[in-house]
Structure 1
Amino acid sequence: AWKALTGLPEPALEAPARHESRPPASLAEDIHPLLRELTSKAEVARTQRDLAGVQTRANPELTIGAVRERDGLGERFGQSVVLGIRVPLGRSSASDSKIATASAELVEAETQLTLEAQRTRAQVDAAQATLRSLEAVQASAERRAVLARESRGFFEKSFRLGESDLPTRLRTELETFEAERQAARSRLDVDAAVSKLRQALGLLPD
């Protein structure tokens, strides 16, 4: 099913653990794909507005026609070509409509870009705050796991020497297991937060 869907060879059953690289600390609007697209739309709208402001006159018109006539009854028809050129000199009403339309499209594009940039910055800030919080939780969980392993080693030695009983040793084993499980889960949570931050920044997984 994997080969039929992706065309790739079958992956290993247990892929090695890997972590996504840490993204930059700030939002780069020239990298984020959505903001780049909206910026391009705003630039196109601005160019169209500027072009409409320059083209205030209607385009010149060239007229070509053929005339077939005769001077009198019974005479042969004569043919002539009529060439006409029309050069508008004043400002056309159509140009005002084009300028108004282009200006409205520019305002809409710039407003959409501003709103999307604000929304994206808010998402990035929230993702960064979540990542910082989970990193603090991970650091605490890692310290707890280290202490639990040290305590387990101490009680193992004490149990072998007959200085501690079996329930105490089993309790330390359970506490160590729980601490290591929590540390592993905190690492997964941090990796997920890094992935969400990269998505908020418009970066692809690596």
Structure 2
Amino acid sequence: MRPLARLLFATWLCFVAMASLAADAWTELAKPGAIVLFRHATAPGVGDPQNFRLDDCSTQRNLNEQGRAESRRLGEQFRQRGVAIGAVLSSQWCRTRETARLAFGDRVRDEPAFNSFFGRAADDRSAQTERARRILREWKGPGVLVVVTHQVNITGLTDHGAMSAEGVVVEPTAKGPFRVVANLQP
């Protein structure tokens, strides 16, 4: 019975820790100039097909119903908590745009600095990541800056990954990767 009790206690501690991280995320998002980077919601697969075209969603990997539900939940969480949103930036990929629009409505603005660079040369990645860093460092509010982007971009900016529809609340640093202060799950 003791091993079962320890397992149950450990499980309970994990839930308490996860709830604490989420609570911390909402506290962080209430601060002036807050920034959250979201990975697009669930879009089955990896990368994009060979015939991928940015201007044609039918050639891209797109959200499935689970991804659409995750996106709607994200927006609902922000509305329920009364989070003031200052701006919503999105990669130009259809899955990021759809995630952002389902969550945050028509206020979404395309920002190519947050486009995926999956499979691109290191020099291209570095230049694009630096453009994204500049945008984030310039944000002062009012409200939260919400960015919907891709896992490779989040890793490039923070040295941390993100699951589908996961939010990473960040603080700018003087140089290098942004500091992750909290995570949000849909």
Give the TM-score band, short-chain normalised. under 0.3
Structure with the higher strand share, 1 or 2: 2
State the structure with more CA Rg.
1
Structure with the higher helix share, 1 or 2: 1
- Give the TM-score taking structure 1 as reference length: 0.21
- Give the TM-score taking structure 2 as reference length: 0.23
Q: Which has the higher contact order (CA 8 A, sep 6+)?
A: 2
